[in-house]
A and B are shown apart, each in its own frame.
Chain A
Amino acid sequence: MTSITQNNVNEEKLKLEQLISSDSIKQIELWRKKYPSDRKRPPIIAALNIVQKENNNFLTEELMTAVADYLDVPHIAVFEVATFYSMYHLKPVGKHVISVCTNLSCMMCGSKEIVKHLENRLNIKLGETTSDKNFTLKEVECMAACAGAPMLEVGEIFHENLTTEKVDTILQDLGLRSSSNGE
C-alpha cells in the first residue's frame, strides 16, 4: 500500500491485548457492549479507567494509542478524553492523589489558602509527587461540589468546606507523619 495512516507509522507498536490482562480486556468488552456498535467513542472513558487501574494509576502514550487502536477510534480522540478529565494521570503518581479544586466557587471560598497549606505540609508544588511516592498534589477543575467549596478529593472521596485544620486531619488520616516530605 502506498499511502500511510496514523495506524502504521509505527509498525512495532504493541497491541492492547499484549499490554494489559485478559481480565481487563473482558471488562472493556463489557462496556463496549453497552453502546450501539456504530458508536465507537463512548467506551473510551471506561477503557481508560480500566487501563489506568491496571497500570499503577497512570496512563502512558503507548497505552492510550493502544486503547485507540483497540476501540478503532482516532488516537487524538483518546488523548482528548485523557487530557480533559482530571481523574486520568498522564505521569506516575503517588499512592494518594489529592485533587484540589481551584475553580471559581472554590477560589472565592479560599482554595488558594488550601493549596498553599497543602504545598507547605507536603513540601511539594501543585502537580508534583512527594519523594516517598505517597502523595501527589493535583489542581483540578470543578468537580460539581460548589455548595461545599472549597473542596478536595482523595481516593474518590470528596472533602468539603475545607479549612487548614480539616486538611491536617485528612493528611493525618492518610498517614502523613509530621510536616515533612515523607522523611
Chain B
Amino acid sequence: MGTVTITIDGQELIAESGSMIIEVADTAGVSIPRFCYHKKLSVAANCRMCLVDVSNLPKAVPACATPVADGMKVLTQSPKAISAQKSIMEFLLINHPLDCPICDQGGECELQDISMGYGSDISRFTEQKRVVKDKNIGPLIETDMTRCIHCTRCVRFGTEVVGLRELGATGRGEHMEIGTFVEKSLVSELAGNVIDLCPVGALTAKPSRYKARAWELAATESISPHDCLGTNVEVHHRRGDVIRVVPRENESINEVWISDRDRFSYESLNKSKRLTQPMIKKNGDWQKCDWETALTFAADNLKAMVKNKGKESLGALVSPNSTLEELYLTQKFIRGLGCHNIDHRLRQIDFSTQHDDPFYPKIDFAIADLEDMDATLLVGANPRQEQPLLSIRLRKSTRYGRVMSIAPFELNENFRIHPQISMHSSELTTHLQGVVAALIEQQKEPISATLKDLFAETSATNDHRVIANELRINDNACVLVGQSALEHSNSGHIRWLARTISRLSGCKYGELTHGANSAGAYLAGAIPHRLTVGRDSDHCGWNTQQMLQKGLPGYFLFNTEPELDSSYRDAARVSLLKADLVVMCSPFAEGEFLEYANVLLPIAGFTETSGTFVNVEGHWQSFTAAVKAKGEARPGWKVLRVLANLCDISGFDYNSSEEIRDELRNKLDNASEAYVGHLHNPDKLEHGGESPRVLTIYDSDMLVRRSPSLQLSPQGVTNWRRDQIQELAFFEQRQVIDIKEVADA
C-alpha cells in the first residue's frame, strides 16, 4: 500500500491510501463529529454526521466512508461542512426525546456533546415525535429505545465482533426499531460492550442505572480479577462506592472491550453481605471483635497448632485471583511458620508431574498474536466460558486461519471449528496421542527412538492427521491447553502430549491458566514444591488434593471458599468441618465458611486493594485501590504483615504493596529459569482418567457468585451449580429466584 498526501483544514498529512478521511483526521487530532463510525466496526455511513467538505466535490461527503486520494483537500469547518452537519443534527433530533435530565447517559452522551456544537436552539419540528416501546433484553442492559438514533453500532458489534447476531433493525423508515424482535435476554458474554458503543442513552447499564452522574465519578485504573488475560479496566466510583467498571483501551490485551464478567462483578462489593469486622466463633456463635483480638487469636492458635501438632499440621489455600503481593506474603508467612503446605491450584487434580512444571505457566506469544494464527489447536479449552475476550481474537483468526479443538465437550463458539473432536474426558489422552502419532508419521526429520517406541502402537485417524498437518505446515500455529485439560486427572500427561505436539510440529504452546494470577502464584511460590521464583524447596509440601482429601488439623484460607472453588467439594467440606482451626481471610460474610471457620479476618476485595497481577503472557500489571475497603476490612497484604509480626516471623516490615512487589521483582531478576525442572518423557503412555465438570463463567470465583445481575443473566440462570450458589448472590433480599420464572420472563 502506498501513501498519499492530503490536507485537512490546511494541515498537510501523509496517509495510507485506502484509509478513510475520518481515520486520518483522528490520527492527526482533527475532530469530526460522528455517531455511527467506530474504529473497531465496519463503516455504515448511516448517521451522516461526519459530512465534510472535499474540494472539487459538489456535495459534502461522509468522512467515514470517503477514501483519501492524493492531493485531496478536506475542510471540516467550512460553511458547507458546518451547514451540512447542522442539518444532519436537526434531522437526528427530530425524533430524539431530549429527555437528558432523566437519562443515564447525560453528561457522557455523544449526542448531547455534539448537539452542543451543532444543534439549533429551537426546533422547527412541530409534529408529533415517535415513541418506541422499550425492550427487556436481560438483567445487564437497560433499553430506552425512543432515544435510539439508529447508528447500528450495537448491531454491527454483534455481527462483526462477537459473531452472534442478537440485535437487529426491524421495520422500515420511521418504523425502524433496534431490538431482538422477540423479547429475550442477550446471551452473549460480551453483550455489555454495547453500553459503551451506544452514542446515546438507548442502551445503558442496568445495574448502575440512576446511581450516579458521569461528572460525579472518579476513575481509577485497574485490572480485572477474573481471567488470565489481565483485562484493563477503569473503576468508576463515588464517595467510596464503586458505581461501575468500564473498559480501558489496551490494544495488546483487551482492545477496547471487556467481558460482562469483568464489567458487572463489582456488584458483589455493594450488594452482597460484606465482612466489615473481624469475627471469632465462640461456642458455635459468631461474635464481632476488634482487630487486635482477632489477630492475636489467629496468631496464637496458629503458633499453638504448629507447636503442638507439628509444623506440617497446617495447610494454606489461596485463591489464584489474589494479588501477587498477597500470594507472596501468604507463602512467606506459612513457610515462616515452618510449614510447606501451600497451594493455589485449587482445581487441579493431577500433581504427578509438578516438578516438571515450567517456571510459570504461560503462553509463548502475545495475546494479540492469536488473531494472526493460521492454525490453532484448542485442547480442552472453552474460551467463551473461560476467557471470553480470547474468543474474539480466535474468531478473528478464522478469517484466514483455522481453529481446531480436542475437548471433552462440544464447543459452542461463534466461529467455525474444524475439525472438532469431542469425546468423553477419558478419551482425551487417546486423541492427543493420535495427533502425536500422526506427527511422527508425517515428520521427515529423524525422531528420537524413545519417542517412536512410545507411540509404536498408537494409530492416528484422519482428523488427527489433519490437525497434525495444519500445525506442522503453518508457521503461525499454536496449541492452547484450557481448563478441562488442566483439571483432568491425567493433566500431567496431557500437558506433556500437548508440548510434544508443539515440539514436533514446531508450533507455539500455551496454557490458559485458572484465575487472574496463576502465573503470579508460581512466581511468588504459592505452590508446595517450589519456593519463590522457582527455587527448589528442600521439603515438598502437600498440594490442594492432599490437604483436602487427607485432612489437616489446621487451615489458613485466603480469599477462597474451597468447597466451591476447588475440585474437591465433598472432601473440602468434610476436612474443613473436622479441622480444629480454620483461619479465613475473606471479603465476604456469607458462605459455607461460617460453619467451618473459627476466625474471620475481613480483607479488601477487588478495587479496594493495591496489587499486581501477572497475566498469561507474563506481563506484570500493577494497580492501586480505587475505594477504601468496607468497614474495618484491610488490604490482604496488611493483614498478612501484622499476622506474621504477631507470629514473630522476621522480614515483614513492609510499608506498601510496592515494596513487596519490588522485593519479588528483585528476586526474579536475580533468578534463573535453570532452577526449574524440564519435561521428561514418561515411561509409558497413560490412558483414561477424567476431568470434573468445568465451572461455568458466572461460577468462577467468590466475586461473580455474589453478583446478582450476572446470576440473573441467561448464563447464570442455567448454571449447573445454581442451586448450590444462588443464595450467595441473593442473600440480601433473601430471595431465591425460581429458574423457571426468570427463564419465562
Contacts and interface: CB of A to CB of B under 8 A. Distances in A.
Interface of A: 1-6, 9, 61, 65, 74-77, 79-80, 83-86, 141
A1 B165 CA distance: 20
Contacts of A6: 164, 166, 184, 187
Contacts of A9: 184, 187, 714
Contacts of A80: 168-170, 181
B171 A83 contact: yes
B720 A83 contact: no
Contacts of A77: 165, 168
B203 to A, nearest CB: 16
B696 A2 contact: yes
10 nearest A-B pairs in the assembled complex, by CB-CB distance: A76-B168, A74-B165, A79-B181, A83-B170, A80-B168, A84-B172, A83-B171, A3-B412, A2-B696, A79-B170
B164 A1 contact: no
Contacts of A86: 172
A183 B331 CA distance: 89
Contacts of B187: 3-6, 9
A82 to B, nearest CB: 8
Best-buried of B168, B180, B715 by chain A (most CB within 10 Å): B168
A169 to B, nearest CB: 30
A61 B180 CA distance: 12
Given A76-B168, A79-B168, A1 B409 contact: yes
Interface in B155-185: 164-173, 180-182, 184
Nearest to B694: A2
A2 B702 CA distance: 20
A1 B410 contact: yes
Interface string B712-736: 0011001010000000000000000
Contacts of A79: 168, 170, 181-182
- Report, as a range, how many residues of chain B touch the other chain: 20 to 34
Contacts of B182: 61, 65, 75, 79
Contact of B181 (A2, A5, A83): A83
Contact of B715 (A1, A4, A141): A4
B177 to A, nearest CB: 9
Contacts of B180: 76
A76 B167 CA distance: 7
A19 B694 CA distance: 38
Contact of A141 (B172, B385, B720): B172
Given A5-B412, A76-B167, A84-B170, 20 more contacts: A1-B410, A2-B385, A2-B696, A3-B382, A3-B697, A4-B714, A5-B164, A6-B164, A6-B166, A9-B187, A65-B182, A74-B166, A74-B168, A76-B165, A76-B170, A80-B168, A80-B169, A80-B170, A80-B181, A141-B173
A84 B171 contact: yes
B384 interface: yes
Given A79-B182, A80-B168, A3 B173 contact: no
A5 B410 CA distance: 13
A164 to B, nearest CB: 26
A76 B384 contact: no
Nearest to B384: A3
Nearest to A82: B170
A79 B166 CA distance: 11
B166 A2 contact: no
A1 B168 CA distance: 27
17 contacts: A3-B189, A3-B697, A3-B715, A4-B714, A4-B715, A5-B187, A6-B164, A74-B164, A74-B166, A76-B165, A76-B166, A79-B168, A79-B170, A79-B182, A80-B181, A84-B171, A141-B172
Best-buried of A4, A9, A80 by chain B (most CB within 10 Å): A80
A166 B385 CA distance: 64
Nearest to B169: A80
Nearest to B171: A83
A79 B720 CA distance: 32
A74 to B, nearest CB: 4
B714 A2 contact: no
Nearest to B168: A76
B734 to A, nearest CB: 28
B401 to A, nearest CB: 17
B172 A83 contact: yes
B75 to A, nearest CB: 32
